[in-house]
């Protein structure tokens, strides 16, 4: 666009009137061109009414942010929230790097990957995994694979940027195999894994979320081989944000966490309305939401268990080269806003 405008300027330079008209057009276009610049997302801007705009990375099945927005909890805290939906939490965390989002959540693995790469901090844990939660991560395999040993030499799915390579290593080693005994195929989301398993391009995949589990359960020639509760891994997750946001808008981060906590309380007390809202906004089946709510409730805070989960995951990521340079985990924790918003929820003290 810019090139064609300057070409027009050259063609018209013989006539001052033409030059004037085209120059005026160029000046009018400059704000538009600037608005289209890469990474320009309009977030972290304070509006005339004093609200801070924040882009929040989300997934279809997570109700917390949508409830906080729909029920006005973000508004009450002076936050104008834009919710951006991704296929996985890991994709949402990756969007921080290109300034597409300002806040993201995910399992320990992508959270640690983010803070290892630059000026980002962990601001809260959303809860540590229970046996019931772990049981909702199910391993689907082709029907001829009836025991773990038969996975040897097979192609298995992992979602890029997620903790699944770690889960595969634990599952395989705990069942007498090595991670190198399978070929791990990176994919972008559960839908891609579904198609690959259906076509025979892969032999096994880990899956969660009630709606997705229902799809995989109906696949011909596929059955549930195991679930994560039969391994030693209990999944923890957390929230991550750029240090710039924490430094420039500490009260907003406190308000963000307050609003999320209020949203979770609403969800606990109103599961049916929560399911209605998710169906209306993202077409998430009501029965899937209600099923997920039984095991996937958030509990904002930061405990020793949350710290130990992160530390254990970090050790694996450093050992396997996912994290190139080791770091002290405490240096990547910024719990100030959480301590102010929900003081009783922070029981771990930085060393």
Question: Mind giving me the DSSP string for 243-300?
Answer: HHHHHH-HHHHHHHHHHHHHHHHHHHH-HHHHHHHHHHHH---HHHHHHHHTT-----
Helices (H), the chain: 2-12, 16-35, 64-70, 73-76, 89-94, 108-115, 131-134, 164-173, 190-199, 210-217, 243-248, 250-269, 271-282, 286-293, 304-319, 336-341
Q: Which residues, in sequence order, are CB contacts of 170 under 8 Å at separation 6+?
A: 231, 232, 233
Q: Distance between CA atoms of 31 and 33, rounded to whole angstroms?
A: 5
pLDDT of residue 43: 64
Does residue 241 sit in helix, strand or coil? strand
Query: Given this model, what pLDDT does residue 48 score?
Result: 65
Per-residue pLDDT of the chain (351 residues; tens, 9 = 90+): 433 433 443 444 444 344 343 333 333 333 333 333 333 344 677 776 789 999 999 999 999 999 999 999 999 999 999 999 998 999 999 999 999 999 999 999 999 999 999 899 999 999 877 898 899 999 999 999 999 999 999 999 999 988 999 999 999 999 999 999 999 999 999 999 999 999 999 999 999 989 999 999 999 999 999 999 999 998 889 999 999 999 999 999 999 999 999 999 999 999 999 999 999 999 999 999 999 998 888 999 999 999 999 999 999 999 999 999 999 999 999 999 999 999 999 999 887
The pLDDT score that the predictor gives to residue 12 is 40
* Residues 6+ positions from 149 with CB-CB distance below 8 Å: 175, 176, 177
pLDDT for 44 equals: 73
For residue 85, the surrounding DSSP H or E stretch is strand 79-86
Name the token pair of 15: 């006539």
What pLDDT, on the 0 to 100 scale, is given for residue 10? 41
């Amino acid at each position: 666009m810019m090139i064609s405008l300057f070409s027009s300027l050259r063609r018209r330079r013989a006539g001052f009137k033409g030059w004037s008209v085209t120059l005026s057009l160029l000046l009018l276009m400059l704000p538009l061109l600037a608005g289209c610049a890469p990474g320009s997302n309009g977030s972290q801007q304070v509006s005339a009414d004093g609200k801070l705009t924040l882009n929040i990375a989300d997934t279809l099945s997570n109700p917390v942010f949508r409830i906080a927005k729909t029920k006005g909890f973000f508004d009450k805290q002076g936050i104008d929230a834009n919710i951006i939906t991704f296929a996985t939490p890991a994709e949402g965390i990756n969007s921080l790097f290109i300034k597409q989002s300002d806040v993201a959540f995910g399992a320990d693995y992508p959270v640690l990957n983010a803070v290892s790469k630059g000026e980002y901090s962990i601001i809260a844990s959303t809860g540590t995994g229970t046996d019931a939660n772990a049981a909702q991560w199910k391993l689907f395999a082709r029907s001829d694979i009836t025991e773990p040993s038969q996975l040897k030499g097979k192609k298995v799915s992992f979602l890029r940027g997620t903790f699944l390579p770690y889960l595969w290593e634990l599952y395989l080693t705990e069942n007498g195999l090595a991670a190198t005994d399978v070929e791990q195929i990176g994919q972008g989301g559960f839908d891609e894994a579904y198609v690959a398993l259906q076509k025979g391009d892969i032999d096994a995949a880990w899956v969660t979320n009630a709606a997705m589990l229902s799809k995989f359960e109906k696949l011909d020639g596929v059955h549930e081989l195991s679930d994560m509760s039969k391994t030693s891994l209990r999944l923890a997750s957390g929230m991550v944000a750029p240090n710039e946001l924490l430094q420039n808008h500490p009260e907003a981060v406190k308000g963000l966490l307050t609003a999320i906590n209020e949203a979770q309380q609403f969800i606990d007390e109103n599961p049916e309305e929560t399911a209605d809202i998710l169906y209306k906004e993202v077409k998430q089946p009501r029965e899937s939401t209600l099923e997920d709510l039984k095991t996937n409730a958030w509990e904002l805070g930061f405990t020793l268990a949350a710290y130990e989960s992160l530390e254990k995951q970090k050790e694996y990521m450093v050992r396997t080269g996912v994290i190139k340079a080791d770091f002290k985990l405490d240096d990547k924790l910024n719990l100030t806003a959480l301590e102010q918003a929900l003081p009783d929820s922070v029981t771990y003290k930085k060393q």
